[in-house]
């Protein structure tokens, strides 16, 4: 009767188990060791999912957060208000902050006020002080150097060891790629090269459809080219937002690598960048959306939705 949000078990998982007329929760390692009884770290009513062999926990007595390793040993003590998943052996932590609860009746949402943020490693060693939480940094791209990196798509942070840590910024990386790789060549061949193997689009009355990129680009090339050319025009209103891959749309095997063991999008490594284009005529409603997934082979067009149903 054990319940868990994980559908795959690599090293350590969060488990809930029926115990007589109540439930108990704990973490279970692959060797069968039980640790962290009644100490699950939860967010949005979901327990944490292991990442790189680490999983977060909450001390119910102090309401502070820490981290277990794959063997169920505490590697980061419960001395922080909050912390991120381990990403390339690094964790952003918040300490000495004040919890501010929302005033809405029946709502358990809250925010943090004040405190200090650090970048630490999974041995609880401080790497960078005053490290503000930032979802747009690629922690797997870290470089250390004696002087700041001059790469325009990187952000630099002085470390406590006197070295500079630099990380690729996903936003800067994507905007650079759009400007210098996509918009400079809107040929059909380059669009095919810049597309995922399948592209999803909405069509009534069928809903979301996954089509092979060859068929989709060949049938909709003119529209796609004209729309992307609008990004070059000076008066075009558009913005870029970030998200994760939607597990309810991208369900088949070719997308598995972009989700973790709890079927959550790995947006800390494979974000989705959404270009939202507003209509030129202010009286028109709706916007056009072009979604690009970051893959190991660069950004790829993966989904399109339009104001008017014209996609084939």
**Angstrom distance (rounded) from CA 158 to CA 137:** 15
312 residues of the chain, pLDDT tens digit each: 457 788 889 999 999 988 887 888 999 999 999 999 999 998 877 899 999 999 999 999 999 999 999 999 999 999 999 999 999 999 999 999 998 877 666 556 678 888 999 999 999 999 999 999 988 999 999 999 999 999 999 999 999 999 999 999 999 999 999 999 999 999 999 999 999 999 998 877 778 889 999 999 999 999 999 999 999 987 889 999 999 999 999 989 999 999 999 999 999 999 999 999 998 777 677 889 999 999 999 999 999 988 766 566
Inter-residue contact 262 to 229 (CB < 8 Å): no
**Angstrom distance (rounded) from CA 14 to CA 68:** 11
Domain ranges of the chain: 12-127, 183-305
Alpha helices in the chain, H assignment, sequence order: 170-177, 188-193, 213-229
Q: List, as one string, the DSSP characters of 185-247.
A: ---HHHHHHTEEEEEEEEETTTEEEEEEHHHHHHHHHHHHHHHHHTTTSTT--EEEEEE---T
Cα torsion 260, 264, 266, 271 to 10°: value is: 160
**Angstrom distance (rounded) from CA 106 to CA 88:** 37
Q: For residue 141, count CB atoms less than 10 angstroms from its CB and return exposed for 0-12, middle for 13-18, buried for 19 or more.
A: middle
CATH class of 183-305: alpha beta
Q: Which helix (H) or strand (E) holds 292?
A: strand 288-295
pTM of structure:
0.91
**Angstrom distance (rounded) from CA 153 to CA 141:** 11
pLDDT the model gives residue 198: 95
Retrieve residue 309's tokens: 């149903």
Residue 69: how many other CB atoms lie within 10 Å = 20
Inter-residue contact 51 to 85 (CB < 8 Å): yes
Inter-residue contact 70 to 87 (CB < 8 Å): no
SS3 content of the chain, % helix, strand, coil (to 5): 15, 45, 45
Retrieve residue 199's tokens: 């592209």
């Amino acid at each position: 009767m054990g319940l868990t949000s994980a559908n795959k078990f690599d090293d350590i998982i969060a488990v809930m188990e029926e115990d007589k007329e109540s439930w108990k929760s704990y973490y279970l390692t692959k060797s069968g060791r039980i640790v962290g009884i009644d100490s699950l770290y939860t967010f949005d009513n979901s327990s944490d999912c292991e990442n790189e062999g680490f999983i977060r926990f909450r001390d119910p007595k102090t309401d502070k957060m820490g981290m277990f390793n794959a063997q169920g040993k505490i590697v980061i003590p419960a001395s922080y208000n909050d912390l991120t998943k381990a990403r390339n052996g690094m964790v952003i932590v918040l300490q000495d902050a004040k919890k501010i609860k929302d005033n809405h009746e029946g709502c358990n949402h809250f925010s943090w006020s004040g405190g200090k943020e650090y970048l630490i490693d999974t041995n609880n060693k401080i790497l960078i002080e005053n490290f503000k939480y930032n979802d747009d940094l690629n922690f797997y791209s870290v470089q250390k150097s004696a002087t700041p990196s001059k790469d325009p798509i990187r952000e630099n942070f002085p470390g406590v060891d006197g070295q500079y840590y630099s990380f690729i910024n996903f936003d800067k990386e994507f905007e650079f790629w759009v400007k210098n790789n996509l918009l400079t060549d809107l040929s059909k061949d380059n669009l095919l090269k810049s597309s995922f193997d399948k592209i999803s689009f909405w069509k009534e009355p069928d809903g979301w459809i996954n089509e092979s990129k060859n068929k989709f680009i060949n049938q909709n090339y003119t529209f796609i080219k004209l729309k992307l050319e609008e990004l070059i025009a000076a008066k075009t209103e558009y913005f870029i937002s970030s998200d994760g891959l939607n597990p309810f749309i991208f369900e088949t095997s070719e997308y598995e690598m972009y989700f973790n063991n709890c079927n959550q999008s790995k947006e800390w490594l494979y974000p989705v960048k959404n270009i939202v284009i507003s209509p030129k005529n202010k009286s028109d409603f709706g916007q056009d959306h072009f979604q690009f997934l970051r893959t190991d082979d660069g950004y790829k067009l993966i989904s399109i939705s339009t104001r008017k149903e014209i996609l084939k």
